[in-house]
Amino acid sequence: MKGHLRGQEPPEIGFLAMSEVTKRILVTGGTGLVGRAIEKVVADGEGRPDEEWIFVSSRDADLTSSSETKALFERHKPTHVIHLAAMVGGLFKNIRSNLDFWRTNIHINDNVLHTAHESGVQKVVSCLSTCIFPDKTTYPIDETMIHNGPPHSSNFGYSYAKRMIDVQNRGYSEQHGRRFTAVIPTNVFGPHDNFNIEDGHVLPGLIHKVYLAKQSGSALTVWGTGKPRRQFIYSLDLARLFLWVLREYDEVEPIILSVGEEDEVSIREAAEAIAEAMEFRGELVFDTTKSDGQFKKTASNAKLRRYLPGFQFTPFRKAVKETCAWFNANYASARK
């Protein structure tokens, strides 16, 4: 199905009503980076005739409120949920506000999962992050290692709150037989990202910085040494994998959605790829007074490959080029 909704009431007549819709899929955080990517993939032909997609945002309900969460579910009556809504931010925002990240995300996640349970939702797929893994660990990390030790101190609030989704999923499965699971993407980027330099993630922040440096003719200043390494996944690739998880993946145990270990790149290499895509000819300067955060968090996608050995990821430089092109075309709104 190519039609898709954004939080409004379903039509009384028309294609949705006439087709045999058996899945009403509510996407929380539907206007964010991953939600927009899922919406595009569905609209571009990956949706199915028996699926109705409903994308909602914080404008539709405050998910920290149990009453507003229940009202949202009563209004849309979902059979399936993709839970993306969260308080998120980059390294420096996390360092400043660990308590806020913990409290806000705990409230959101508990309200969504418990309301889904009480409403009889058939399946929930929540979104975690590789930052939830222990700081002191062996590499590559895999799905069995989530709870093996404390996360990095820079974002412990967000990390522990996200870990609790896995705990709740197990509880709802064991106590109530619910099919609640979670995915763990590596660093996601793409169109509709948060390109805020202060509070965004590293790659969209660098894209914005390169744009400004090119405009002013100045050097590009990259925070940190440029040595930390990350696996980046393009949001449209992640969206396609989300559809597969929703439809086909039946384990309660989470699954890492990531490019392979061989596709890990350094922050320096990422900055150079962005500079090339933006045709920036200036100097790259590394501000080593800024924190690097975690040096690496290499994740194994072996479990994903067992299920989908032939899945083709968009090459990193191609995905960077497409993201930069989108940012350039949408600068007025993207920069905010």
Q: Tell me which residues are annotated as active site.
A: 158
Q: How many whole angstroms separate alpha carbon 303 and alpha carbon 43?
A: 28
**Concatenated DSSP letters of 89-115:** --HHHHHH-HHHHHHHHHHHHHHHHHH
CB 50 within 8 A of CB 19: yes
Q: How many whole angstroms separate alpha carbon 289 and alpha carbon 52?
A: 49
Q: How many whole angstroms separate alpha carbon 150 and alpha carbon 45?
A: 42
Angle between helices 156-176 and 98-118 (to 10 degrees): 20
CB 287 within 8 A of CB 222: yes
Q: Would you state the structure tokens that stand for residue 130, as one six-digit string?
A: 């590789």
Q: How many whole angstroms separate alpha carbon 223 and alpha carbon 283?
A: 14
Q: How many whole angstroms separate alpha carbon 321 and alpha carbon 276?
A: 9
Alpha helix segments (H runs only) across the chain = 15-18, 33-41, 66-76, 91-96, 98-118, 156-176, 202-216, 235-248, 267-277, 302-307, 316-329, 331-334
Q: Which residue has the tokens 């150079």?
A: 272
**Rounded to the nearest 5°, which phi and psi values hold at 333?**
-95, -35
**Rounded to the nearest 5°, which phi and psi values hold at 23?**
-125, 120
DSSP 5: B
Among 227, 198, 226, which residue's Cα sits nearest to residue 212?
198
